[in-house]
């Protein structure tokens, strides 16, 4: 823009130098007419462009050669006076009313007799809500075809820092900050306030996202804006912003508008959150839950060594059980007896004779005995 204005200044000088100036000493002075002609000449060389705005103060009279109206920017009220030859205007059969949104194709022009700057319309098209929606739909299909709406990266469980892009209207910002810090008091947040409405919003948000991405411990970005009219949310469907969101270094959570609004940034973001508290749930862990889980883990930790000892004991007991099963004592417990003579086990009746003294060992205890007879 600056370069453009500089060009205009240079052009005026160039143009004016062709018209006669009166020399008063070292001062060059132009007549009003010459000056206007110079400026008008330069303006007429600017390219034709499309301008969007709302029609106000439409004036059309039979005796005028041109129709006049003022094109107003709904975002900040900026005005541009527009003229169009009456026959051309009538031929368009637009039947425009006050406040209607239009696209005007034309070029700047100076009405030299009055030094009035205005926009000379060459064509006018109505651009209402339906056209906006259709244009959005086309953009949506185009970006979808490029695969911009398919990225769903997982969010970090413990972001080191959280970037928050928000307007300076306190509500959305406060809601998100409150939700974040309530759920996770240690949260660290970097807030980037920008325009979130009007024609400057989209490039400003792109800039804010870029600035947050430059901070290397920002692990996630939340894009927050309260609800608004269809037009208020239009920047969030701006192609530049949608591309910036889709190409962002870190995951982006889109918390824009209300449930029913679906600006295109929502589709390009990694996750969409319908409310600030949903955004907070996605972005930070619940500190209370963490604490509870930590305490439970500690309980398990405290029981664990005891568990180890118990398990070792159980294994020992098992081994002991098997050892005992192999020893004769369990056989004796079932009712068998061991007979010994002089400490040696008696395996057959031939090893004793009537009158021999033997020892009998039982499951419990034992006794001495004398052999009566052998068989």
Partner 1 sequence: MTFEEAQRELERIVQQLETGQADLDEAITLWERGEELYRLCADKLDSAQGKVEELARRVEALKPAEPLT
Cβ partners under 8 Å of residue 198, min gap 6: 75, 76, 235
DSSP assignment of 143-154 equals: HHHTTTT---PP
Residue 199 in tokens:
């024609």
Q: Does 203 sit near partner 1 (CB under 8 A)?
A: yes
Q: x/- site string to partner 1, residues 25 to 64, per CB under 8 A?
A: ---------------------xx-x---------------
Q: Does 217 sit near partner 1 (CB under 8 A)?
A: no
Sole binder of partner 1 in the list 96, 287, 338, 371 (CB under 8 A):
287
Of residues 118, 120, 112, 119, the one with CA closest to residue 15: 112
Sole binder of partner 1 in the list 304, 316, 325, 337 (CB under 8 A):
304
Distance of alpha carbon 163 from the chain centroid: 10
Sole binder of partner 1 in the list 42, 89, 195, 236 (CB under 8 A):
195
Sole binder of partner 1 in the list 29, 294, 325, 345 (CB under 8 A):
294
Q: Does 192 sit near partner 1 (CB under 8 A)?
A: yes
In angstroms, rounded to a whole number, what is the distance separating the alpha carbons of residues 249 and 226?
A: 24
Element (DSSP H or E) covering residue 308: helix 287-326
Burial degree of 96 (CB within 10 A; 0-12, 13-18, 19+): middle
Sole binder of partner 1 in the list 8, 96, 211, 339 (CB under 8 A):
211
Q: How far is the CB of 72 from partner 1 (least distance, A)?
A: 17
Burial degree of 112 (CB within 10 A; 0-12, 13-18, 19+): middle
Q: How far is the CB of 63 from partner 1 (least distance, A)?
A: 34
**202 or 267, CB closer to partner 1?**
202
Residues that bind partner 1 in the complex, under the rule CB under 8 A: 1, 3-4, 46-47, 49, 157-158, 177, 181, 184-195, 199-200, 203-204, 207-208, 211-212, 287, 290-291, 293-294, 297-298, 300-301, 304-305, 307-309, 311-312
């Amino acid at each position: 823009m600056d370069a453009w204005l500089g060009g205009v200044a240079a052009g005026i000088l160039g143009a004016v130098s062709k018209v006669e100036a009166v020399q008063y000493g070292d001062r060059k002075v132009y007549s009003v007419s010459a000056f206007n002609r110079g400026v008008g000449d330069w303006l007429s060389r600017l390219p034709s462009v499309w301008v969007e705005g709302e029609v106000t103060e439409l004036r059309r009279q039979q005796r005028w050669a041109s129709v006049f109206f003022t094109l107003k920017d709904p975002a900040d009220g900026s005005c541009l006076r527009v003229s169009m030859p009456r026959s051309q205007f009538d031929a368009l059969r637009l039947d425009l009313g006050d406040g209607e949104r239009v696209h005007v194709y034309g070029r700047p022009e100076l009405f030299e007799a009055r030094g009035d700057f205005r926009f000379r319309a060459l064509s006018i098209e109505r651009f209402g809500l339906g056209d906006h929606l259709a244009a959005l739909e086309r953009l949506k299909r185009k970006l979808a075809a490029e695969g911009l709406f398919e990225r769903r990266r997982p969010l970090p469980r413990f972001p080191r820092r959280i970037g928050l892009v928000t307007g300076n209207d306190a509500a959305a910002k406060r809601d998100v900050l409150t939700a974040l810090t309530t759920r996770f008091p240690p949260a660290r947040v970097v807030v980037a306030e920008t325009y979130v409405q009007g024609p400057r919003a989209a490039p400003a948000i792109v800039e804010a996202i870029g600035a947050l991405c430059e901070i290397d411990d920002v692990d996630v970005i939340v894009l927050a804006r309260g609800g608004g009219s269809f037009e208020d949310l239009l920047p969030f469907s701006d192609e530049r912003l949608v591309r910036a969101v889709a190409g962002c270094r870190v995951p982006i959570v889109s918390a824009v508008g209300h449930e029913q609004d679906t600006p295109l940034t929502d589709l390009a973001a990694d996750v969409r959150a319908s409310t600030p508290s949903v955004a907070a749930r996605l972005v930070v862990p619940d500190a209370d839950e963490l604490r509870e889980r930590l305490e439970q883990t500690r309980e398990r930790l405290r029981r664990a060594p005891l568990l180890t000892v118990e398990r070792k004991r159980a294994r020992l007991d098992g081994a002991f059980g098997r050892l005992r099963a192999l020893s004769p004592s369990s056989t004796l417990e079932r009712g068998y007896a061991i007979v010994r003579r002089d400490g040696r086990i008696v395996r057959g009746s031939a090893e004793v004779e009537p009158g021999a003294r033997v020892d009998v060992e039982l499951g419990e205890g034992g006794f001495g005995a004398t052999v009566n007879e052998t068989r």
